[in-house]
Amino acid sequence: MAEVVLKGVEKSFGSVKVIHGVDLTVRDGEFVVFVGPSGCGKSTLLRLIAGLEDATAGDLFIDAERVNDLPPAKRRIAMVFQSYALYPHMSVYDNMAFGLELAKATKSEIDQRVRQAARLLQIDTLLDRKPKQLSGGQRQRVAIGRAIVRDPKVFLFDEPLSNLDAALRVQTRIEITKLHSDMKATMIYVTHDQVEAMTLADRIVVLNAGRIEQVGTPLELYHRPANLFVAGFIGSPQ
Ligand code: ADP
Ligand code: MG
């Protein structure tokens, strides 16, 4: 588990500032959901935490260690994207093992971790298949499995369910909840789906144009929205 802290984090692309002074503490083992309209900076914030983008200003800490200058591989963070981004020519097993091979784990250690994650996600009978022989839901589980095998302290999910149909979304949502309690990891999860946010989150962060409008539990945001934007987004009565 790990605490993630952002202090005055800003990000500009060229002369355009897209993240404005974000302060946020995500507690050890907490499930935090980022919501907000398209283009408000949800993915950019995740990428800053993962180290896939460099902050223009401010500090990022994971377990009290300043990580601004640490490369993604050293942050013990795993990111799951909406586009499954599996390697099409590799088997499910190799897709899951790939990151570990790069991290120079031993063959038996890799084998043990891949099979354990596959069992947890109930994809242990699919290890020899190629991604194109899988359903959308199965592919998404492989993508999650690839994150799990690295034993991360923090999971980042960027709209992981948006390519799935409604029934699969519900099922995968339940699995992610189970994963959270099994792994006891800190999770930061991006969605534009309010129902998903309300059911998954310990706390929701509402973003608008690169700023935090409000942070609170689903019930706090619903009953005491800070402003009309939050009320409109969360769907609370006015
Ligand atoms: P969201 O995930 O909430 O839809 P993003 O974080 O993807 O929003 O984008 C926030 C803003 O930053 C948008 O205006 C987007 O166009 C801009 N942006 C994101 N990535 C880049 C980039 N690599 N170069 C330039 N602008 C970018
Ligand atoms: Mg996005």
Average pLDDT over residues 217-224: 95
Among protein residues, the one whose CA lies closest to atom 24 of ligand 1 = 13
Q: What is the pLDDT of residue 72?
A: 87
Which of 82-86, 163-167, 227-231 shows the highest mean pLDDT?
A: 227-231
> What's the CA gap between 53 and 19, in Å, rounded?
12
pLDDT at residue 214 greater than cutoff 70: yes
ipTM of the complex: 0.98
Average pLDDT over residues 205-223: 96
Q: Are 5 and 60 in contact (CB under 8 A)?
A: yes
pLDDT at residue 211 greater than cutoff 70: yes
Q: Are 109 and 149 in contact (CB under 8 A)?
A: no
Average pLDDT over residues 158-185: 84
Q: Are 214 and 230 in contact (CB under 8 A)?
A: yes
Among protein residues, the one whose CA lies closest to atom 26 of ligand 1 = 13
Atom of ligand 1 nearest to the CA of 38: 4
Of residues 2 and 33, more confidence is placed in 33
Average pLDDT, the chain: 91
Which pTM does this prediction carry? 0.90
> What's the CA gap between 24 and 189, in Å, rounded?
14
Q: Is 4 helix (H, G, I), strand (E, B) or coil?
A: strand
> How far does the centroid of ligand 2 lie from the alpha carbon of residue 128, in Å?
32
Among protein residues, the one whose CA lies closest to atom 13 of ligand 1 = 39
Cα–Cα distances (Å) from 184 to 22, 29, 103, 181, 229, in that order, read: 26, 6, 23, 5, 33
Ligand 1, CB within 6 Å, residue ranges: 13, 18, 36, 38-44
Q: What is the pLDDT of residue 238?
A: 56
Q: What is the pLDDT of residue 83?
A: 60
Q: What is the pLDDT of residue 170?
A: 85
Q: What is the pLDDT of residue 193?
A: 86
Atom of ligand 1 nearest to the CA of 36: 3
